Amino acid sequence: MNITFYTYPRCTTCRKAKKWLEEAGHTVEEVHLVDATPSAETLKTLLDRSQLDIKKFFNTSGKVYRELGLKDRLADMSEEEKLALLSSNGMLIKRPITTDGEHVTVGFKEAEFENVWKA
């Protein structure tokens, strides 16, 4: 199965997730979250398919998130504003985002990968 894998190559969690996917037999197409940050439209599609709250797409432990004071600001923002913010800086996006066009996972939890991506 071909997987689109939104990643930041220096992220150790991303490397672990990629290794897991490859060992499970998946072909992984990497998209660098900073060099090729997904558009708001792409993020909206991923959000809808994931059925997660948009807050799960934010890298809440990241430096940029803290510098922008988003912990206190997100609650007052519309979904469109949040998507625009995410698409403006790949470092705001929780990583990795993994999709086959139908399923979407955000982050890496081995049990979730086992459930969703086991070939």
pLDDT tens figures, 22-35: 999 999 999 999 99
For residue 1, is pLDDT > 90? Answer: no
> How many domains does the chain fold into?
1
Q: Which of left, alpha, beta for 98 (phi over 0: left; psi -120 to 50: alpha)?
A: beta
> Which pTM does this prediction carry?
0.94
How many Cβ atoms are within 10 Å of 64's Cβ, its own excluded?
A: 14
In contact, 36 and 48? CB cutoff 8 Å: no
Q: State the CATH number of the domain containing residue 71.
A: 3.40.30.10
CA–CA separation, 30 and 2 (whole Å): 11
Domain that holds residue 9: 2-117
